[in-house]
């Protein structure tokens, strides 16, 4: 009884958490849609008062890209006021070139796009090469490394830093017009650019100044202190924050700007939302027709169930992450073949997860869980038990009959099953032999599973009498 109460409590907390997240998301989307409509209106007005040359007017207007959530990084290199008359000026300029090159390499490492360079001011954009939910974190991690690169560049007297960086970061909707140039593919417009540059200009050298929007998205990862309020046209005063480092419990010992295992797990849980979107889109476009059971709905059901059972079984965030990823990919192999779809799912998982920089060890764990769902189930570890119980959760649910009928229709069109009566007999034989492996599933599903056995027996009895 205690396990059931704990399970119900966890479900309630998750439901409330999802409700709150949906409310916040709807508010953000609503604000974004309003801003988008305003920007469209302003762009139309600008087009009516353009002073472009006649030949430019004839060329079609390039399509504006609207990034719902991009993170802009403004970096200004400081120290030129100390350069005039310095005995090592030439050497310091070489070090400046080294710093600029290193900054670009760091941006590439974090998949951040270099947008613009004006003298020794640089603007980068995260979440623009590929839209993702982790870009605010990625941009801050890149900013840490850029600041470290500035420290390591040799210069100045008494081993003090000569070149220093002032960095401002803001996250929000961004309008970008393609330029057709490889070196600077977008021309940015909108308040986000101006606000980001002001954050950078108002920042002390050697510090990272972020907006309130960025802070809300990263505060569970980084230690931040208020840096005051900044006036923004038409929006009043807006809060800003200095980023001091990764939260102590998420940082490696004596390395405040390097994440530990817990940091990586929390980061990957955010990545999961992007991965889930990509996998479900892929499945929606490529799953064969008449896949009535092994479809997207079943995948979502399994992802939800592994999380609920996993929490109830006392698993941690890292284990829940592995289970959710395995649940997400476990039937994706149907886009390649109905047979051996588990194996094909592992191939898809490895190809896709490698793009998100998952380690080989982590990908092997996920693939082992996918293969654990191969029929008949024979799980050995707790995670495999959670996976198998989630995959066959419908056996103990009240919607067993309609779900079972969908599986029958799927097998029937592929000539893998005979009459409906034969199917019910096979189902009855299977469900009688089946057992749930986790305590949670046994407590929650066994009673209802026994009711389904009784329903099938009554159904077969009626069919038998009708035939006789």
| C-alpha–C-alpha distance, residues 356 and 379, integer Å | 28
Q: Give the CATH number for residue 316.
A: 1.10.3210.10
In this structure, the answer to whether residues 193 and 71 fall within a common structural domain is yes
In a domain, 68, yes or no: yes
Question: From first to last of its 468 residues, what are the pLDDT tens digits of the chain?
Answer: 455 566 566 666 665 655 565 566 556 555 655 655 565 555 555 545 444 444 444 455 567 888 889 999 999 998 888 888 788 878 888 888 999 999 999 999 999 999 988 888 999 999 998 899 999 999 999 999 999 999 888 654 444 578 899 999 999 998 888 888 877 788 887 788 888 999 999 898 999 999 999 999 999 999 999 999 887 766 778 899 999 999 999 999 888 889 999 999 999 999 999 999 999 999 999 999 999 999 999 999 999 999 999 999 999 999 999 999 999 999 999 999 999 999 999 999 999 999 999 999 999 999 999 999 998 899 999 999 999 999 999 999 989 989 999 999 999 999 999 999 899 899 899 999 999 999 999 999 988 889 888 888 888 877 666 665
218 part of a folded domain: yes
Q: Which long-range contacts (CB under 8 A, 24 or more apart) does 155-159 make?
A: 155/79, 155/88, 155/91, 155/92, 155/95, 156/82
Do 385 and 405 sit in the same domain of this protein? no
The residue with tokens 């399994």 is 302
Co-location of 19 and 115 in the same domain: no
Same domain for 320 and 194?
A: no
DSSP characters for 402-445?
A: HHHHHHHHHHHTTT----HHHHHHHHHHHHHH----SHHHHHHH
88: in domain: yes
Structure tokens of 261? 């295992």
pTM recorded for the entire structure: 0.81
Evaluate whether residue 129 is within a structural domain: yes
250 phi and psi, to 5 degrees?
A: -110, 0
Tokens of 95: 């070090």
Q: Convert 218-283 into a string of H (helix), E (strand) and C (coil).
A: HCCCEEEEEEEEEEECCCEEEEEEEEEEECHHHEECCEEEEECHHHHHHHHHHHHHHHHHHHHHHH
Task: CATH number of the domain at 171, please.
Answer: 3.30.70.1230
pLDDT value, residue 50:
43
Residue keyed to tokens 């009554």: 458
Using alpha carbons only, what angle is made at residue 300 by residues 295 and 301, rounded to the nearest 5 degrees?
A: 95
Domain stop point among 243, 259, 275: 259
| Domain match, 81 and 155 both | yes
- Tell me the C-alpha distance between 110 and 149, whole Å: 15
In a domain, residue 45? The reply is: no
Do 248 and 328 share a domain, yes or no?
Answer: no
Specify whether 104 is located in the same domain as 207: yes
Structural domain contains residue 54: no
- Residue closest to 150 by CA, chosen among 160, 158, 140, 141: 160
Residue 210: which H helix or E strand, with range?
A: strand 208-211
Would you call 172 helix, strand, or coil by DSSP?
strand
Asked if residue 156 belongs to a domain, the reply is: yes
Strands 236-246 and 208-211: antiparallel
Instruction: Determine the pLDDT at residue 109.
Output: 95
Phi/psi for 445 (5° steps) reads -115, -25
Task: Please tell me whether residues 268 and 370 are part of one structural domain.
Answer: yes
Q: Tell me the C-alpha distance between 401 and 448, whole Å.
A: 12
DSSP code at position 292: S
Q: Which of 364, 391, 418 is the last residue of a domain?
A: 391
Q: What tokens appear for 229 in the block?
A: 């309020």
The answer to whether residues 454 and 340 belong to one domain is no
Which residue range forms the structural domain that includes residue 358?
260-391
pLDDT given at position 53: 42
Verify that 268 and 183 share a domain, yes or no.
Answer: no
Tally of domains within the chain:
4
pLDDT value, residue 462: 72
Residues 116 and 244 in one domain: yes
**pLDDT reported for residue 254:** 80
> Does residue 298 form part of some domain?
yes
310 & 428 share domain: no
Task: Please provide the distance, in angstroms rounded to a whole number, between the alpha carbons at the two ends of the chain.
Answer: 46
The three-class DSSP label of residue 70 is strand
Q: pLDDT at position 283, please?
A: 96
């Amino acid at each position: 009884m205690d396990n059931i109460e704990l399970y119900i409590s966890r479900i309630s907390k998750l439901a409330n958490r999802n409700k709150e997240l949906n409310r916040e998301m709807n508010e953000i989307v609503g604000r974004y849609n309003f801003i988008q409509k305003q920007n469209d209106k302003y762009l139309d007005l600008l087009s009516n008062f353009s002073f472009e040359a006649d030949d430019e007017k004839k060329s079609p207007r390039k399509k504006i890209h609207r990034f719902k959530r991009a993170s802009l990084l403004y970096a200004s290199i400081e120290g030129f006021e100390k350069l005039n008359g310095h005995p090592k000026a030439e050497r310091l300029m070489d070090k400046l070139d080294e710093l600029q090159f290193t900054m670009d390499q760091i941006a590439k490492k974090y998949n951040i796009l270099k947008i613009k360079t004006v003298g020794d001011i640089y603007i980068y954009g995260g979440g623009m090469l590929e839209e993702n939910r982790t870009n605010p974190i990625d941009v801050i991690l890149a900013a840490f490394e850029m600041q470290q690169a500035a420290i390591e560049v040799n210069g100045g007297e008494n081993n003090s830093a000569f070149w220093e960086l002032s960095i401002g970061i803001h996250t929000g909707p961004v309008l970008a017009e393609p330029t057709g140039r490889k070196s600077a593919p977008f021309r940015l417009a909108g308040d986000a650019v101006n606000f980001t540059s002001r954050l950078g200009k108002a920042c002390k050298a050697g510090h990272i100044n972020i907006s309130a929007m960025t802070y809300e998205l990263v505060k569970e990862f980084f230690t931040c202190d208020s840096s005051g309020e900044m006036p923004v046209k038409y929006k009043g005063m807006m809060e800003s924050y200095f980023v001091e480092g990764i939260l102590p419990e998420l940082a490696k010992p004596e390395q405040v700007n390097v994440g530990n295992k817990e940091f990586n797990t929390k980061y990957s849980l955010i990545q999961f939302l992007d991965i889930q979107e990509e996998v479900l889109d892929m499945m929606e476009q490529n799953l064969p027709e008449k896949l009535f059971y092994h479809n997207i709905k079943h995948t979502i059901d399994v992802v939800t169930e592994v999380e609920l059972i996993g929490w109830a079984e006392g698993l941690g965030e890292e284990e829940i992450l592995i289970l959710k990823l395995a649940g997400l990919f476990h039937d994706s192999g149907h886009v390649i073949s109905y047979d051996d779809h588990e194996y094909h799912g592992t191939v898809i998982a490895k190809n896709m997860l490698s793009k998100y920089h998952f380690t080989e060890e982590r990908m092997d764990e996920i693939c082992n869980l996918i293969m654990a769902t191969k029929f008949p189930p024979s799980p050995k570890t707790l995670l495999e038990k959670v996976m198998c119980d989630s995959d066959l959760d419908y056996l103990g649910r009240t919607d067993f009959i309609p779900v079972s009928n969908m599986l029958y229709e799927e097998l029937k069109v592929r000539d893998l099953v005979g009459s409906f009566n034969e199917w019910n007999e096979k189902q009855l034989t299977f469900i009688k032999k089946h057992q749930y492996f986790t305590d949670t599933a046994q407590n929650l599903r066994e009673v209802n599973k026994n009711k389904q056995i009784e329903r099938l027996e009554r159904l077969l009895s009626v069919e038998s009498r009708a035939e006789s």
